[in-house]
Amino acid sequence: MKGIVIGLWIALLFFVLTSSTIWAQATAQISGAVRDQTGAVLPGVEITARQTETGVTRMTVTNETGAYVLSNLAVGPYRLEAALPGFRTFVQTGIVLQVNASSVINLALEVGQVTEQIEVQADAALVETRTSSVGLVIESQRISELPLNGRNVGDLITVAGAAVQTGTVTGRLFSGAQIAIGGGVPTGTDYSLDGANHINFLTGVGLDLPFPDATQEFKVETGGLSANRGSSSAVTAVTKSGTNDFHGDLFEFLRNDLFNARQYFSTTQSSLKRNQYGGTVGGPIVKNKLFFFGGYQGTKLRSDPADTQSFVPTAAMLAGDWTAFTSPACNASRQIALKAPFVNNQINPAQYSKVAMYITNKVLASIPVQPDACGLITYGGAITKQDNWQLVSKVDYQKSAQHSIFGRFLATSQYFPNGLSLTKNLLRSGAIGTDALSTSYALGDTYLIGAHTVQAFRLSVNRIRNWQIGNSFFSLCDAGATSFYCGNSPTWISGSTITGGFAFGSSFGGADKTHWPYWDPWSAQMNDDVSIVKGAHQLSFGGGALYGRMIEQARFADGGQLTFNGSVTGLGLADFLTGKLFTLFQGQPNKHQANQLNLNL
C-alpha cells in the first residue's frame, strides 16, 4: 500500500513539473459533428485540415457520435476536408483560424462516390460555442494599418475595449505599460507569446511584443476565461512564421517635428526626431516541412534639450559680499537678510567650507556660461539620445504528420547615455543612463498520440539585464570631507540639492558595469497539456512549473546625498558655502537575490 501511495505522488509530481496554467494557448481548434442527409451521425469519417500557406496537415476520425476535434492548430488559413466511402468528399475553404479560437464547423455528407467532391469556397462563418471568454482579436492587417505612434504593438491592447493604461514601468524595471483589463489590476493579466509565458518577472506586466511587421495577431480576453488560464484577463500574441513562399519587407519611418507646426499651447517648437527602420524575411528551408522567419527593427530618438535655470555662487558671493544676491532685483522685489550672526549680508570667506569650495570651483569650471549678478545661469537640460533595437527569429518544423516543433527567440535592447557623456556640465550629473537587454526564448512541441488525443508542450525562458549608467566625476572624499565613509572608493556624489540654488550629483555612479547598479530578473516556465475527445465530450488536463529569480545590486546614495535648505543662514546657498548641512545620507552597495517556485495543475 505504501508503495502505491508513493507511486501516485511521483506521478502527480511528474504532471505538475511538466505542465502549465497556459495550456498551449496561442493556437486554435476546429470541432463539430458529421451527419448524412437524413441527420444520422456518421462515425469513421476522415477529417483533414490543411494549413494552406505551409501545406501542414492534421487528420482525425469522427468517433461513434460523429464528433471530431482538431485541437492545437496553428493560426492561419485552412482547407477542411471530410471523406467516407459511399459519400461524396466534402471540402470547405476560406477558413481562417484566429488565436485562441474554438470554432465549430458541422458537416453534412451526401451519398455518392468518394471521388466526387462538394466544395464550399465562400468564407466560413465560424461559430464559437465551446468557450465563454469575451475578447477581441487584433489581426495582422489592423496591426499594420491602425495609427501606431512609435510602432509599439502593446499600445493596441486598449483598442480591445475594457482595457485602460494606468501607468508605465520605466528605468531600472525596463519598459512596459501597466494596463488594467476588465476592471482588474495590471499584474492580474496573463501575457503569453506563441503559447509561452511572456511576463516580466520583476514587475508582473507583459514584456515587449514583436514589432508590427513581425506580429501575426494577438487576442485580448477581458472576462469569462476558463479555469486553465488562472487569471481574470489575458493577452495572447503570435509571432509570424515562414510559409512555402518567400516573403519579406523593408521599412523606414521618419518623424521630424521641425517640419511640423508648433503645438497650439506650446511656447516652443518640438525638436523630436525619431527614425525607425528594419525589415523581415521568411520562407521555406524545406517545403511543407521546415520554415524560418526573422525580423529586425532599429529605433533612434533624438531631441534638443529644453533650457534649465539654476543659481550658482557668483564671484562677489565667493568674496563674501551677498548684497546683490539678497537684493530686491534678484528676489522678485523682496529684500532678504542673512540670519545672525551675519550682518549687512556679508560672510567672511574664511568661514566657507573647504568641501563646498572644492565643489563650487568644479561646478563653475564646468558650466558653459558664467552666471549673471544674481547668480542665475541658463543652460541646456537633458538631451534625448536613445538607441533601441529588436530582433526576432522563429523556426517551425513539421517532423511528421503527428509531430510538430517550433523555436522562437526575441531580443529587445534599450540604451541611452548618462548626462556627463553628453556634456561636461556638472549640473547635468543627475541624468542617469540605461543599458538594458530583454531576451525571450520559447520552444513548442505538439504531438498526436492518437486520432483523439493531442499533447502540447511549451518551454519559455525570459531574462532582463538592466544596468543603470551613473556619472563619475569626483567624490566627497576627493573634496576633503571627513565625516564620510570612503571605504567603497566612490567616484561620485549622490544626488544633492540646495534650496534656491542648484542640484548636482548622481544617484548612481562608477566608471563601468562592475560599479553600476543592476537588476537581473530571470524566469523559466514549462507546461504541458493533453486534450482527449471521448464521445461527445472533450477533456483537457495539464499543469506547469514556473521558477523565477531576481538578482539586484543597489548603489543608492553610497556617494553621499546632501541637502541644504537655508535653515541656518536663511539661504540655501549660504548654508552650502558655510558647510551647514541639513541632512547627510549615505548608503552602501547592497546585493540581493530572491527566488520563487510555482507549481500548478
Do residue 155 and residue 103 come from a single domain? no
> In Å, how far are 311, 312, 370, 540, 573 from 377, measured between CA atoms?
6, 7, 7, 69, 14
pTM here? 0.84
Total domains in the fold of the chain? 3
Do residue 141 and residue 232 come from a single domain? yes
- 248 within some domain: no
- 82 within some domain: yes
| Domain final residue pick, 351, 380, 409 | 380
Q: 91 near 118, Cβ under 8 Å? A: yes
CATH of the domain at 151: 2.170.130.10
**Grid cell in block for residue 168:** 508605465
pLDDT number for residue 336: 92
**Grid cell in block for residue 122:** 465562400
Residue 509 to residue 470: CA distance in whole angstroms: 4
| Domain final residue pick, 239, 265, 293 | 239
Q: Are strands 196-197 and 163-169 parallel, antiparallel or unpaired?
A: unpaired
Residues in the chain, pLDDT under 50: 1-2, 4-24
Provide the residue count of the chain: 601
Do residue 234 and residue 312 come from a single domain? no
Do residue 141 and residue 118 come from a single domain? no
Residue 333: count of CB within 10 angstroms of its CB:
8
Q: Which domain holds residue 335?
A: 308-380
DSSP 268-336: S----EEEEEEEEEEEEEETTTEEEEEEEEEEEEEEPPPEEEEE---HHHHTTB-TTTTSGGGTTT---
| Domain final residue pick, 122, 143, 166 | 122
Q: 262 near 269, Cβ under 8 Å? A: yes
Residue 136 to residue 216: CA distance in whole angstroms: 14
Residue 453 to residue 217: CA distance in whole angstroms: 27
Residue 338 to residue 571: CA distance in whole angstroms: 7
- 442 within some domain: no
Do residue 139 and residue 117 come from a single domain? no
CATH of the domain at 70: 2.60.40.1120
Do residue 143 and residue 214 come from a single domain? yes
Do residue 204 and residue 158 come from a single domain? yes
Do residue 38 and residue 86 come from a single domain? yes
- 504 within some domain: no
Residue 190: count of CB within 10 angstroms of its CB:
22
- 385 within some domain: no
Residue 182 to residue 165: CA distance in whole angstroms: 12
